[in-house]
Amino acid sequence: MTDLLTVSPELSANHAWFFDLDGTLAEIKPHPDQVEIPDAVLQLLHRLAMQNGGALALISGRSMVELDALTTPFRFPLAGVHGAERRDINGQTHIVTLPQTLKRDVYSQLSAALENLPGAELESKNMAFALHYRQAPQHEATLLMLAKRITARWPQLALQPGKCVLEIKPRGTDKGEAIAAFMQEAPFAGRIPLFVGDDLTDEAGFAAVNRAGGMSIKVGCGETLATWRLANVPDVWRWLKQIHYPQQKQKSASDRRDGYESFSRSI
């Protein structure tokens, strides 16, 4: 059961802010290279970070290089590749590595297999691999068997399903662990964590935030551990604007009556 709200919750508390990117801050596109975050949204994130002592980080399946490119000119703390790489507020990086021979062998096997699966794409992330099938959904079952075979052969690796993608990443890394690591450091330590995400890969982050008594927000439909929900990416943008401009809440309430506002709490 969900309790619909006419405005976003009051966020005057001492929060540590965590955001997924694709499907949360940016619309999902047919190809990852087509994704972008509107400049106005980047400005809102920057302002939110400054108002909270820098306690704002992006937690994504993308690499940190990609995240920096998508958020230029700003430089936020980051966790990329589902936490396998992380950059703290001081710019120090924490990166999980895999043996070169393992990476070479996995890449070789995946590349050979995808030659027979037209439309599917292999993305190498140095310490992880992504099997994309958004343009070839008929290959989902075959790719799942392939990914399971790879992770069974190399127990250092784990499978992480996502939206039209199967990630093969270092075992023991996830978004929840990344958030927990940030929460041990300044300026995040001692704050209430808040995490916004949309995918299966974000559920570990929701679980970590819930355990810490924070606020977990799922974007879109589907079962989730998150306790709050926003309908889509534009609703995330509007919600961020409401945080900075409280006078927008009255308009939001009117929008909801017209069918546009969709912030709800799971109870």
- Give the residue numbers annotated as catalytic, written as ranges: 20
Cβ(178)–Cβ(83) below 8 Å: yes
Alpha carbon separation from 163 to 125, 200, 224 (Å, rounded): 17, 8, 14
Work out the widest C-alpha separation in the chain, in whole angstroms: 59
118: left (phi over 0), alpha (psi -120 to 50) or beta: beta
* Cβ–Cβ under 8 Å, residues 17 and 194: yes
- Cα gap 80→59, rounded to integer Å: 6
CA distance 145 to 157: 15
Is residue 22 within 8 A of residue 60, CB to CB? The reply is: yes
Task: Please tell me the distance from the alpha carbon of residue 215 to that of residue 264, in angstroms, as a whole number.
Answer: 13
User: How far is it, in rounded angstroms, from Cα 147 to Cα 6?
Assistant: 43
